Amino acid sequence: MSCIFCRIVAGEIQAEIVAREPAATAFLDVQPLADGHVLVVPRAHVPAIEDMEPGDAEALFRLVHRLAGPTRAAVRAEGSTIGVNNGDATGQTIPHVHVHIVPRWSGDGAGSVHTIFKSGTRRPVAEIGAAIRKALGTSADIQKGLPT
Ligand SMILES: [Zn+2]
């Protein structure tokens, strides 16, 4: 087992663990972008969100939800940026899904998620929406809203 996150989950490598649940573990990033930078990882070694079992994904994001407030409170942050680098092209360096919770303060100099993208879209939004609905196997009828 060479994956550093698997080894942290297994207790083979020391980490500053802040929460541990059966299907997800949270610990402080060893190269924090800010005080209180937490990583939340699933127990299962899975490279990308779309490869996760649905129950594992639910457990992972339940723990993110559980940690968001206390992490913010612990370092008296004004907010947090929560993100996932999902796949090699995104700069994901460890191929084990991990959610970053990075505490933020107004004026901390870091931008929003929008600032990491230099280019805009190239295809019409409606075309992309149709392609995603097709890939999901959902009908265009969902655009109409729920019956009241
Ligand atoms: Zn792993």
CA distance 66 to 19: 9
Supply the residues annotated as catalytic: 98
Q: How far is the CA of 81 from the centre of ligand 1 (A)?
A: 23
Calculate the CA dihedral of residues 104, 115, 52, 40 and round it to 10 degrees: -20
Q: How far is the CA of 50 from the centre of ligand 1 (A)?
A: 15
Q: What is the pLDDT of residue 147?
A: 74
Q: What is the mean pLDDT of each run of 10 residues along the chain (148 residues)?
A: 94 97 98 97 98 97 98 98 96 96 96 86 90 92 82
Which tokens go with 19?
Answer: 């929460």
Q: What is the pLDDT of residue 61?
A: 98
